[in-house]
Amino acid sequence: MPVNSYRFVYDQYGNTREILVYTRGIGVYGNNYTNKGTAFTEEERRALGLDATLPPAVRTPEKQVENSVRTVEAKGDDIERYIYIRSLFDRNVTLAHALIRSDIERYMKIIYTPTVGLACQRYSSMFRTANGLIFYPGNIDRAEDILRYYSHRDIRVAVVTDNQGILGIGDQGAGGIAICLGKLMLYTQGAGIAPWHCLPVSLDVGTNNEALLSDDEYLGWRHRRLTGDEYVEFVQRFALAFRRVFPNAICQWEDFSKQNAFATRDAYLHDLISFNDDIQGTGAITLAAVISAMRAKGEQLADQVFLIHGAGAGGVGVAEQIETALREQGLSVAAARNRIFALDSHGLVTTDRGLEPYKMKYAKEPGDLAWFGEERDGGLENVVRNVGVTVLIGTSGRTGCFNREVVAAMLNNSERPVILPLSNPTSKAEATPAEICQWTGGRALVATGSPFSPVAVGGRPVRVGQCNNVFVFPGLGLGVLASGARQVLPAFFTAAAHAVSGQVAEQDIRDGILLPPVDSLREVSLKVAFAVGRAAIREGVSGLCAFSTFQHNNDIGRLEELIEKMRWEPRYLPLAAR
């Protein structure tokens, strides 16, 4: 008998065909992969030792979803709904995903932002059951052995955080793993990567959050954060173990602090199949909105002047992706960077200041800016006016900094300026869509980082596109896995951005809507996967898909067939008693 009580059986595409079950009774019902709850048929109940353990009636999966919808909506608030959905996931993973699928726009706000932020903050008090892996200095030496416990699940994607840069709320210690859980649920919803192929990982290197350190109930490693060589060595130990155990899996770095995000991403570009969603995913989805804006304006990307207000991981990630897109259009590195300006909390990023290394390539020489003068006025409005900004992107977290004067300056530079206040949550947005619409008479092209209500344009409500990374990372992951790519290239994110923009309907473009609706996530993810897979072939980095016996051999048609067929659906699988 196998060590595990179940084993997955795959078809030629790497999709799960059935589950072999080597246990009976509570062992079946108590496993969230094999549990069907009241949907077990009479035959299954007899074969699997469940006879008499369940009420006689058999509910269809559709009825189970209807009942779950009523239950979750009866909860008092969204954090209670989060707890219910997570507990359902721990009991019956298929039903949980079927529930989320029934209204992805509604439930995504619960399983991920904004509700997941509260879940991170309340992690210790809300703890119900173990989810994922938590490495800390007391077990990091055993990382390889621990990871091997999960090899039977054929791990394909891991989301890994060090818990320091969680959303807009910073260092959350052990609670950051809730972010990984949410992201992986979206991998399943968007890309169809089955939940058993997903692994959330927390690198608990301590916390500098005083409230957590002084909380007797805190469940994390109660020490100040490792820094310097100790921190680097810790991450290296994890990365080496992960590569040895899951050499074909994607490692998505998530919510690292800006000082570690770039260093970690760049250190493992060639050692792991990895990327950082906060940097590259944010860059890609923002580029998608800009590409849509160019469709609406009938202009070229290479003719724009870009200003990113907020030069952290997300902001510099946006600058990197815009640079990549400009270079693909034929601009040199210098010419591309000359069109990109960045502001941080000290104003315009210039070479005569002490800068973090990741900002340096977008720093301007003060001597090249005749308008800058001796007063060094690198404030937002002054920069917008003097460099002729046509695309303004906010990643600053500074509420209301895109004020009426700044927006008026944008209108002087462009008939239809592109203004993207991306900071989360809504309370930190640089401006609201309604304000920008009012100040520009509806001429500005707007997308936001948080969900906003429709705005009135020409007397009718118009949806506001949301720059949500969920349109990028699931499809990107699926495209990488199917293509067998051994590294994640910048060109993949440009391809993803064009694919996302391509899913915005022409009528929406005419209405100034820059991104698809969230309820089209699954269709958008499929197009992104196709685009990324084709890019991998074009860039010469594709290979054999490690998770499938159906090989595309760099044939585009066969690659797309593999991508379509390897996606899991939240439907109960056959259980074969053994």
Domain boundaries, the chain: 102-256, 280-468, 471-509+520-565
User: Among candidates 185, 154, 180, 191, which has minimal Cα distance to 6?
Assistant: 154
577: part of which helix (H) or strand (E)? Answer: strand 575-577
Residue 6 bears catalytic tag: no
Give the strand pairing for 460-462 and 455-457: antiparallel
Quote the pTM value: 0.95
User: Among candidates 248, 251, 244, 234, which has minimal Cα distance to 183?
Assistant: 251
442 near 457, Cβ under 8 Å?
Answer: yes
Structure tokens at 512: 């100034």
pLDDT tens across 96-110, in order?
999 999 999 999 999
60/266 Cα distance (integer angstroms)? 49
Residues 6+ apart with CB under 8 A from 577: 21, 24, 47, 48
340 near 323, Cβ under 8 Å?
Answer: yes
Handedness of CA 202, 199, 190, 84 (dihedral sign): negative
96/93 Cα distance (integer angstroms)? 5
* Centroid of chain to Cα 152: 25
Block mean pLDDT (10 aa), the chain, length 578: 79 97 94 97 95 95 98 96 96 98 95 90 89 96 97 96 86 93 97 98 96 95 96 97 98 91 91 95 97 97 97 93 96 97 93 88 91 81 96 94 97 97 89 96 94 88 95 98 96 97 97 96 98 97 95 95 98 96
Q: Which amino acid is at 87?
A: S
Give the strand pairing for 133-135 and 6-10: unpaired
Q: Which pLDDT score, from 0 to 100, does residue 459 have?
A: 83
Q: Which pLDDT score, from 0 to 100, does residue 1 have?
A: 34
For 485-540, the DSSP string reads -SS--HHHHHHHHHHHHHTS-HHHHHTT--S--GGGHHHHHHHHHHHHHHHHHHTT
CA distances from 245 to 248, 275, 346 (A): 9, 18, 44
Q: Which amino acid is at 232?
A: V
CATH topology of domain 280-468: Rossmann fold (3.40.50)
Q: Which pLDDT score, from 0 to 100, does residue 3 have?
A: 58
Catalytic one of 29, 112, 358, 572: 112
Residue 112 bears catalytic tag: yes
Whose structure tokens read 């969920």?
A: 470
Q: Which amino acid is at 109?
A: K
Domain 102-256: what homologous superfamily?
Malic enzyme, N-terminal domain (3.40.50.10380)
324 near 493, Cβ under 8 Å?
Answer: yes
Catalytic one of 13, 33, 84, 183: 183
Burial (CB < 10 A; 0-12, 13-18, 19+), residue 352, is exposed
Where on the phi/psi map is residue 533: left (φ > 0), alpha (ψ -120 to 50), or beta? alpha
104 near 518, Cβ under 8 Å?
Answer: yes
- Same fold flag, 102-256 and 280-468: yes
Q: Which pLDDT score, from 0 to 100, does residue 80 have?
A: 96
